[in-house]
Structure 1
Amino acid sequence: MSRELGAVVDGAPAILRIGDDARIQGIEAAPTLGLDRAPRVTRGFVDLHAHGAAGHSYDDAAPAGIAAALALHRAHGTTGALLSLVSAPVPALARRLAQLRSELPAHPGALGVHLEGPFLAPGRRGAHDPHALTAPTPAAVDALLEAGEGALRVVTIAPELPGALAAIDRFVAAGVDVAVGHTEADAAGAAAAFDRGASLLTHAYNAMPGLGHRDPGPIGAALERDHVVLELIADGIHVAPVVLAALVAAAPGRVALVTDAMAATGLGDGRHRLGGLDVDVVDGRPVLAGSTTLAGSTLTLDRAIAIAVGAGVDVDAAVAAATAVPAAVLGLGTRPIAAGTALADLVAIGPDGSRLDLRS
């Protein structure tokens, strides 16, 4: 026996008929449905920046570990994600890229690889191994492009490094999106990168100069350019709620919620690893062992939406920041929800930002 659910689907109020086979049987317009009380039903989330989960890091996990990490995020609504790798020597990254390139077809939720390094500013390295950092020389860029052909989708670069602007040209020409991040660049330096084709800002506000009223830094340069999407870790730790809401308002349709989730995600507090470094998680907050330096997060995207809505972000804007915005970055078309769509491919978000169970 089918059941009915009133919801906002593809921006319009509708009645969904859901069958016993856990698929949509039909959709009818519902113009009298109260939008302020209706859940939003959408395709699954897309995460542009995640390092793992369930005790597995994409830097070194076997295929079963990658599957387990993706499965944990999928249980929280994420149906597509980039596999983010932390900084390592270029030969090691090239080997891992080549390995992942051959394994990605076995993981439908894996949309490619994001290299968060090694082309980062030492003074803004965060939880990256300082010994792995290097300048983006032509040889290094070519090695990574060759190893990751077809799999490498995003690379984070500090644009002030020697050779960085030429490297941005090379990556962009090869179809790889470039993100400005882990940088000491001022507004002019970041603007130069964006004007050469960089189109993302890695976890805005973190590992970069802040948004000053006289020196707007990389965030200001990104806000000025309509083609730039700004990543935001909405865990209530990396960015204060008032700042989170202000950024979404300042760049409507250009903020992508990301998790930056590391291997400890889903496991609770304790000692864990990120790359080759020890990380302690206390009350869900991961820091490099013996320091106060944040080492990614233990966030999932459903929680990010709830935190964003709690901070004052409109629920539709928050949902778009985890779906349409990141999907567009990767050039993914948004398939409409129609009869035959499986509930497993959908997520329902309540007016308060909480994820609802479509199966009940």
Structure 2
Amino acid sequence: MLQTLSARRLLTSSATIDFPVLTIDGDGLIVSIEPGAAPASSDTTLTSTFFDIHTHGGASHDVMEATPEALGIVSRFIAAHGVGHYLPTTVTAPVDKTLASLEGIARAIDLASTTDWDARLARPVGIHLEGPFISHAKRGVHPEADILPPNISLFDRFQQAAGGHIRLITIAPEVPGSLDLIRHCTRNGVRVSIGHTNAASDEAHAAIEAGAQSATHTYNAMRPLNHREPGVLGTVLDSEMLFAELICDGVHVAPELVRLWLKAKGPQRAILVTDSMAAAGMPDGDYTLGTFAVRVAEGRAFAADDLTKGQHTLAGSVLTLDRAVANVQRFAGASLEVATGLASHNPAFLLGLERAIGYIAPGQPANFNVFTASGELQGTILGGAAVA
């Protein structure tokens, strides 16, 4: 049975269509997109759904639990906040724990590619391996004992456990062995992101030459900017080659530096992520991120062990991607078109999935976010069905 969907405008990766009328078939696929007459009352905008390439969980569950129940709850939660696709993201943990988590996440990814998957849930389409190949100096809350030097054989074990689904990996490029691993990952189609790094500028440039294409949560867990030694941060902001993630929650990065990031990277290379953990969508309290304890207070997530020492080390976020999109409009004056592109088209381009995710055309799944005239998310449609 066919259904129709109309709006004031439709934003695609390449065009703005005024007064679109979309026909959707019973399988939740777009049949046609045609111009229509001006609607009598609708002032909504349709966009692609979001693609979060850096999320550890939400709704009280961590993706490293890797059970069907936990991943199903996370998928439902983030779908309600506009996410259509995502990369479940691991954190540094003992090798055996990481291998087991990768196996469980891989099973969910395989299921999400079949008709048995509930179309109203966000689909996991790959894995972001954040750690263990990071810097001790900029580890953030990643457990120090489980950080390991870059190792191609170990990465291959991880990828085998993941059924080939690791699509993105965070690596500190200054650590010995990292450039060989970056080249290995790049040759095998895995995108490399520079992160949790104390790299100097020349080390960051070497990573780019080896194949790195992105930066993990820009500003955070990076050597700070210096006007004589720009370091990794200066290189990330300056390089036309790199995409750059940002956690736009007003906690991790000040609004002034959100504006600098967007000016530096432009609307084609900036990527919004959440870095959300299990506490996203939950009240303040005690939670876990991977294998370690986190305490959330007043919307900020901190490593619980560090709090007992009087330190305040941020441990992921409680951000949702719809709020990140709203915040970048507010902090940086970004248009809705730009803001939604940072959370949908840009991550898809980074991963080479621009024709599979967020691509609006006949024959593609009817996945849309619906925004009000003021730029707030009003609802989400996945596979032609409204997400509750």
TM-score, normalisation: structure 2: 0.84
Match of 1:309 among 299, 320, 329: 329
Match of 1:76 among 70, 76, 81: 81
Aligned-partner residue type, residue 49 of structure 1: H
Other-structure match for 1:123? 137
Alpha-carbon distance in structure 2 between the residues aligned to 1:50 and 1:341: 23
Does residue 219 of structure 2 align to residue 210 of structure 1? Answer: no
Alpha-carbon distance in structure 2 between the residues aligned to 1:339 and 1:196: 37
Whether the 8 Å contact between 1:49 and 1:258 is mirrored in structure 2 is: yes
State the Cα distance separating 1:232 from its structure 2 match.
0.5
* DSSP 3-state at the match of 2:10: strand
Following superposition of structure 1 onto structure 2, how do residues 42-61 of structure 1 map, counting pairs within 5 Å? Answer: 42-61=47-66
Alpha-carbon distance in structure 1 between the residues aligned to 2:36 and 2:312: 51
Whether the 8 Å contact between 1:46 and 1:323 is mirrored in structure 2 is: yes
* DSSP 3-state at the match of 1:166: helix
State the Cα distance separating 1:251 from its structure 2 match.
1.0
State the Cα distance separating 1:18 from its structure 2 match.
6.7
Aligned-partner residue type, residue 201 of structure 1: A
Match of 1:96 among 91, 101, 107: 101
Alpha-carbon distance in structure 2 between the residues aligned to 1:179 and 1:20: 37
State the Cα distance separating 1:227 from its structure 2 match.
2.9
Other-structure match for 2:368? 346
State the Cα distance separating 1:357 from its structure 2 match.
3.2
Following superposition of structure 1 onto structure 2, how do residues 13-162 of structure 1 map, counting pairs within 5 Å? Answer: 13-17=17-21, 27-29=33-35, 39-108=44-113, 109-162=123-176
Does residue 351 of structure 2 align to residue 336 of structure 1? Answer: no
Following superposition of structure 1 onto structure 2, how do residues 171-320 of structure 1 map, counting pairs within 5 Å? Answer: 171-252=185-266, 253-289=268-304, 290=307, 291-311=311-331, 312-320=333-341
* DSSP 3-state at the match of 1:122: coil
CA RMSD of aligned residues (A): 2.7
State the Cα distance separating 1:85 from its structure 2 match.
0.5
Deviations 1:188-226 (A, max 9, x none): 111111110011100000000123333222132223433
Alpha-carbon distance in structure 1 between the residues aligned to 2:364 and 2:96: 46
- Specify every segment of 5 or more residues in structure 1 that has no aligned partner in the other structure, as ranges: none
Alpha-carbon distance in structure 1 between the residues aligned to 2:17 and 2:237: 32
Does residue 22 of structure 2 align to residue 8 of structure 1? Answer: no
- Specify every segment of 5 or more residues in structure 2 that has no aligned partner in the other structure, as ranges: 114-122, 381-385
Whether the 8 Å contact between 1:16 and 1:26 is mirrored in structure 2 is: no
C-alpha distance 20-97 of structure 1, shift in aligned 2 (>3 A): closer
Q: Identify the range of structure 1 (72-81 vs 148-157) with the bigger mean alpha-carbon deviation.
A: 148-157
C-alpha distance 38-338 of structure 1, shift in aligned 2 (>3 A): farther
Deviations 1:60-79 (A, max 9, x none): 24111101101100011101
Aligned-partner residue type, residue 244 of structure 1: V
Alpha-carbon distance in structure 2 between the residues aligned to 1:246 and 1:307: 14
Aligned-partner residue type, residue 7 of structure 2: L
Alpha-carbon distance in structure 2 between the residues aligned to 1:133 and 1:168: 17
Alpha-carbon distance in structure 1 between the residues aligned to 2:4 and 2:210: 53
Alpha-carbon distance in structure 1 between the residues aligned to 2:17 and 2:298: 39
Size of the aligned set, in residue pairs, is 355
Alpha-carbon distance in structure 2 between the residues aligned to 1:146 and 1:21: 38
Alpha-carbon distance in structure 2 between the residues aligned to 1:275 and 1:2: 43
TM-score, normalisation: structure 1: 0.90
Alpha-carbon distance in structure 2 between the residues aligned to 1:237 and 1:160: 27
Whether the 8 Å contact between 1:310 and 1:353 is mirrored in structure 2 is: no
State the Cα distance separating 1:52 from its structure 2 match.
0.6
Alpha-carbon distance in structure 2 between the residues aligned to 1:163 and 1:123: 17
Aligned-partner residue type, residue 72 of structure 2: A
Whether the 8 Å contact between 1:191 and 1:222 is mirrored in structure 2 is: no
